[in-house]
A and B are shown apart, each in its own frame.
Chain A
Amino acid sequence: MRATVYRGPYKLRVEEKDIPAIEHPNDVIVRVTLAAICGSDLHLYHGLMPDTRIGHTFGHEFIGVVDQVGPSVQNLQVGDRVMVPFNIFCGTCWFCARGLYSNCHNVNPNATAVGGIYGYSHTTGGYDGGQAEYVRVPFADVGPVRIPDWMSDEDAVLLTDAVPTGYFGAQLGEIVEGDVVVVFGAGIVGLVAARSAWLMGAGRVIVVDHLEYRLQMARTWASAETFNFVEYDDIVVEMKKTTGHLGADVAIDAVGAEADGSLLQHLTGVKFKLQGGSPIALNWAIDSVRKGGTVSVVGAYGPIPNMVKFGDALNKGLTLRMNQTPVKRQWPRLFEHVRNGHLTPSELVTHRFPLEHVVEGYHVFSAKLDGCIKPLVVPGAA
């Protein structure tokens, strides 16, 4: 089969690989019909996740058709069209039994601090991902779901991570009616977080980024106010000025490890990997929120320690909430929102790359060229 393969930081290629095999009785093999590149994949691509091995196939956002089933699989059959949450999870450990699907303890021998994720290095369990023609899907009776007839393929693939994560970001903010919510990052995660904040009754939604074309989408698609942080000497002061000098009630970090805005943080965190990514957006969130407010973090960071302004968080009495998204737990409600048009994720897809051209897709998405917001990857397309 054809598969995206890691060749070292900033380097990928598409090569021929064996079709994955059933390794556990509850595995299925899925033939991928549509995949996506996520902001998280950029962290891997730039070499920010330790134990990313040469030959690893990336991709944790994918849908497809069941091609082979393991002997204990009961809920799926060959030929089923399925959407697969980016989390690999067992359903029965202490964490899964209580709904913490992203924190499953039975799927990742390499680390206890993170669950299992497809195509996300050996730190998340060493599973090859879905930017390929086929992928092994463990615990097939637990994770995947048949795609409802009414749902488009594009909405389905965006529901495997980006949309649930954006909504989850807003949800972790514990928004109450009239809250002022500031979202850092206008990637798909931040855009969905901003729109979800309205669903939860926010009184004001502000989106901060430096990419004008994405801020434009924040104004139209997410009906938000926007601030381009490059236009201000100090975005934190600006957030204070616009909130009567109290600060926002809720701040959401939808940027994560590759944040811009501080050259020192960016160089040490991203280029030279001396910390687990640049936490500047997180620090801005901590400093922009009011005392007693809530900071929600869905932006992803690596396991190496970061220069985070923890003293401020303590002195301000903040509530910090964060996690990898428990995707399947978000689905029933989000399916309703997509069905009745409260969320229209496929409008955020800007690019479709054939699998053979996935490398170009990474570059365009990473360098934020050509108005790119969300790139999809299409196996089998010429």
Chain B
Amino acid sequence: MAYTPHKPPLPETTEQLRARIPYWGVDLDPADRPSVPKLQWQEDLSGAHWGETPDQQPEKQPRERSIEHAAVTPVFGTAQPLHGLSGAIRRYAYTRYSEARVGHWLLLVLGDRVEAWGAHLRSFATLRPDNPITQTGVLAEAGAHPIRSRYGVRRTDTVHQPLDPVLVAGPWVAAATVTWLGVRRLARAVRG
């Protein structure tokens, strides 16, 4: 079988489509589609009324930034400022590597893990310790048809969903085991 210059026939004609789908073709003309063309001068500057340069948000503490930027941007988020060891790792990622370098992102991932572990440990000294059961939302399973949603239907994510609890609980179990072994060894050493 040779391929020809023709487009394979469509199952429905334009008339049939118009009859079946009432809104068919209302944006057929690209001029009716928003954001076409991609680059288009916005006369109203979307409501900005400060000429060309917005006011600078005050920087109350040194704000980390990508070294691909000339300076800290006029507006920035102030949520969760850098702190502690994870803060030092993250700041190093920002000051040492551009976004183009994998090292930048891997260090940020490391910072994330270090911060999460610190936060979990610190939470045990509070009235609200981290709780992998209530915080993962698994308690919602009961009211959400866990069996009917997953089995007897063809879906493929059920293959790896059982890994999620392992990924969440695994490090906790490992940490508890290491702690217990350590305590036992210490106790034996003390007893002589």
Q: Which residues of A contact B (CB under 8 A)?
A: 7-13, 15, 23-26, 47, 50-57, 72, 74-75, 88-92, 96-101, 105-113, 116, 122-123, 125-128, 138-139, 141-143, 168, 171, 174, 177-178, 180, 196, 198-201, 203-204, 210-213, 223, 228-231, 243-246, 260-261, 263, 266-267, 271, 273, 303-305, 326, 328-334, 337, 341-342, 357, 359-364, 366-372
Encode B22-50 as 1/0 by CB contact (under 8 A) with A. Answer: 01111110101111101111100111111
- Stretch of B113-121, B175-183, B184-192 at the chain-chain interface: B113-121
Residues of A close to B111: CB separation below 8 A: 51
A328 to B77, CA, bound (A): 21
| Of B78, B112, B145, B159, the contact of A126 (CB 8 Å cutoff) | B78
A-B contact pairs, 29 of them (CB 8 A): A7-B116, A9-B167, A9-B168, A13-B134, A24-B57, A50-B112, A51-B111, A54-B116, A90-B74, A91-B48, A98-B39, A99-B42, A107-B74, A108-B73, A109-B64, A126-B78, A141-B49, A177-B14, A178-B10, A198-B21, A210-B156, A212-B153, A228-B154, A263-B160, A328-B46, A359-B140, A369-B144, A369-B145, A370-B143
CB of A326 within 8 A of CB of B35, answer yes
Answer whether A112 and B160 are a contact pair too, CB < 8 Å, given A8-B119, A8-B120, A11-B130. Answer: no
* Shortest distance between the CB of A20 and any CB in chain B (Å): 8
Residues of A close to B112: CB separation below 8 A: 47, 50-53
Residues of A close to B94: CB separation below 8 A: 110
CB of A11 within 8 A of CB of B168, answer yes
* Shortest distance between the CB of A204 and any CB in chain B (Å): 6
| Of A92, A98, A174, A369, the contact of B52 (CB 8 Å cutoff) | A92
Q: Which residues of B contact A (CB under 8 A)?
A: 3, 7-8, 10-12, 14, 17, 20-21, 23-28, 30, 32-36, 38-42, 45-55, 57-58, 63-66, 68-69, 72-80, 90, 94, 99, 102, 105-106, 108-109, 111-112, 115-116, 119-120, 123, 128, 130, 132, 134-141, 143-146, 149-150, 153-157, 159-161, 163-164, 167-168
Residues of B close to A244: CB separation below 8 A: 7-8
Residues of B close to A100: CB separation below 8 A: 38-39
A208 to B74, CA, bound (A): 43
Answer whether A92 and B48 are a contact pair too, CB < 8 Å, given A54-B80, A112-B69. Answer: yes
Residues of B close to A271: CB separation below 8 A: 160, 163, 167
A327 to B72, CA, bound (A): 25
CB of A223 within 8 A of CB of B157, answer no
CB of B137 within 8 A of CB of A360, answer yes
* Shortest distance between the CB of B42 and any CB in chain A (Å): 5
Answer whether A92 and B50 are a contact pair too, CB < 8 Å, given A24-B55, A126-B77, A171-B36. Answer: yes
Answer whether A342 and B65 are a contact pair too, CB < 8 Å, given A100-B39, A369-B145. Answer: no
A328 to B54, CA, bound (A): 19
* Shortest distance between the CB of A25 and any CB in chain B (Å): 5
Residues of A close to B28: CB separation below 8 A: 177, 200-201
* Shortest distance between the CB of B151 and any CB in chain A (Å): 12
| Of A168, A178, A199, A203, the contact of B27 (CB 8 Å cutoff) | A199
Residues of B close to A199: CB separation below 8 A: 23-27
* Shortest distance between the CB of B37 and any CB in chain A (Å): 9
Considering the complex of A and B, which 10 residue pairs feature the smallest CB-CB distances, nearest first?
Answer: A363-B137, A126-B77, A244-B8, A91-B48, A360-B140, A8-B116, A127-B77, A50-B108, A109-B65, A53-B80
With CB as the reference atom, state the residue of chain B lying closest to A127.
Answer: B77
With CB as the reference atom, state the residue of chain B lying closest to A21.
Answer: B78
| Of A10, A13, A107, A371, the contact of B76 (CB 8 Å cutoff) | A107
Answer whether A11 and B132 are a contact pair too, CB < 8 Å, given A100-B38, A199-B27, A200-B27. Answer: yes
* Shortest distance between the CB of A143 and any CB in chain B (Å): 8
A98 to B42, CA, bound (A): 6
A172 to B189, CA, bound (A): 68
Residues of B close to A332: CB separation below 8 A: 34
Answer whether A74 and B49 are a contact pair too, CB < 8 Å, given A203-B10, A211-B155. Answer: yes
Residues of A close to B76: CB separation below 8 A: 107-109, 125-126
CB of A24 within 8 A of CB of B75, answer yes
CB of A109 within 8 A of CB of B72, answer yes
* Shortest distance between the CB of A280 and any CB in chain B (Å): 11
Residues of A close to B115: CB separation below 8 A: 53-54
With CB as the reference atom, state the residue of chain A lying closest to B25.
Answer: A201
